[in-house]
Amino acid sequence: MIKKILIIGVLAVVGLIFFDLFNAYQGNESLSKTANYYAENGASQVGAANLVTAIVVTYRGLDTLGEVTILFLTAAIISFILKFREEDFMPNRSVRVTSELLDSAAQVIVPVIFMVGVYIFMNGHLTPGGGFQGGAVIASGVLLMIMANPNFGVSHKVIAVVESISGIAFVLIGVLGIVLAGGFLDNTLLPLGKLGDLFSAGVIPVIYTFVGLKVGAELSNIIGTISHVQNEKN
Amino acid sequence: MEYIIISTGFALMLLGLWGILSQKNLIKIILGFTIFNTGINIVMVSIGYVRGKAAPILDVIKPSEAASKIVDPIPQALVLTAIVIGLGVTALMLVYVLKLHREKNSLDINSFKDLKW
């Protein structure tokens, strides 16, 4: 009973704070100063049609590098916590037979999902989307494969190779920016091209391709590890 | 319009907080965290909204008139980061629950009293 009253009290206080914040919110009529700078100079400095991508990859590219690192750390910690012993592993555990519908659908849809994922991260500088979204779509394809065939193992070797190469390439592009262009992760390493073309916006498509591959590999790794320990005996 | 969205965000945050505080099942607590997270993201995106403006993508909008025709792109970039971090945190919490369940064979939070005082 006391607990319930406490919960209601906490909710009331937090709700009051939120109500205050909501009351003070008035909506915007114009952009803030920083946003105005990005809107005016984004197209000429970065050359990406999607200004969100311009901010994420170029203006605040270092943040994105940190973000990718956090995802990598998450995947590493999960693999570390869920480490399994070989003798616990039951390759032929009894699993419910996959329904015909899921099995056939997975075979047809998985390649399409991968293609959509690649499309999303290749066009990150033109359309809503980018490396993280595309990587998540690719990982959802891997999840569908695991659901259709529960004994499907995600190859850790392939994932480690993809992840390392794309991570190193991301940092390498950043360092090349110091040497050949204006600074770390500078976008003008490659010509900016025409606004709205697939091959435009300097190194953004290249970076986003690597980010997409890395995120896809990391999320697949998490899914694969969790599905792997399901095989363990309790 | 932006008032509806921002109040939805705050309502989701409260709902998530209620879930975190009142639920007994660990999975449901994690769901509470996820709902809270979604609420914060909605609030952040709606703060960057500018009345009557379009998404910050310059396909139809010309770069020269961008500043007067788009919404604030910065909160959207921040939310993109926040979603990814939220995903990492959720995955970690779920894995901890997996480990806890293996330890005590229970998902009830009341069966874990080791750190309780």
pLDDT in tens, chain B (117 residues): 778 888 899 999 999 999 999 888 999 999 999 999 999 999 998 888 888 888 888 877 777 777 778 888 888 888 988 988 898 899 899 988 888 888 788 888 888 888 777
What is the residue whose two structure tokens read 């901890």? B96
Residue B73 sits in which domain range?
2-111
Residue A85 has pLDDT above 90, yes or no: no
Give the model's confidence band at A94: pLDDT under 50 very low, under 70 low, under 90 confident, else very high: low
Which residues contact residue A2 at a Cβ distance below 8 angstroms, ignoring those fewer than 6 apart?
none
Instruction: Kindly list the domain boundaries of chain A, sorted by start residue.
Output: 49-82+99-229
CB contact under 8 A, A40 and B6: no
Give pLDDT tens digits for A114-128. 999 999 888 888 888
Q: What angle, rounded to 10 degrees, do the helices at A204-229 and A61-81 form?
A: 20
Residue A234 has pLDDT above 50, yes or no: no
pLDDT score of B32: 94
Q: How far is CA A88 from CA A121, A231, B94, B105, in A?
A: 38, 8, 21, 18
- We report the CATH number of the domain holding residue B32 as 1.10.287.3510
For residues A126 and B57, what is the distance between their CA atoms, to the nearest angstrom? 7
Look at chain B and report how many structural domains it folds into.
1
Residue A112 has pLDDT above 90, yes or no: yes
Q: Does the residue B21 lie in any domain?
A: yes
Closest by Cβ to B81, choosing from A14, A63, A77: A63
Q: Which chain B residue has the Cα nearest residue A196?
A: B59
Closest by Cβ to B21, choosing from A7, A132, A222: A7
Residue A155 has pLDDT above 80, yes or no: no
Q: Does the residue B116 lie in any domain?
A: no
Tokens of A79: 């693999």
- AA letter at A228: H
Give the model's confidence band at A232: pLDDT under 50 very low, under 70 low, under 90 confident, else very high: low
Which residues of chain B make contact with A12, given a CB cutoff of 8 A? none
Give pLDDT tens digits for A163-221. 889 888 888 888 888 888 777 877 777 777 777 777 777 788 888 889 888 888 888 88
Q: What is the ipTM of this complex?
A: 0.81
CB contact under 8 A, A51 and B2: no
Q: How far is CA B52 from CA A22, A50, A80, A221, B41, in A?
A: 20, 19, 49, 42, 21
State how far residue A31 is from chain B, nearest Cα, in angstroms: 6
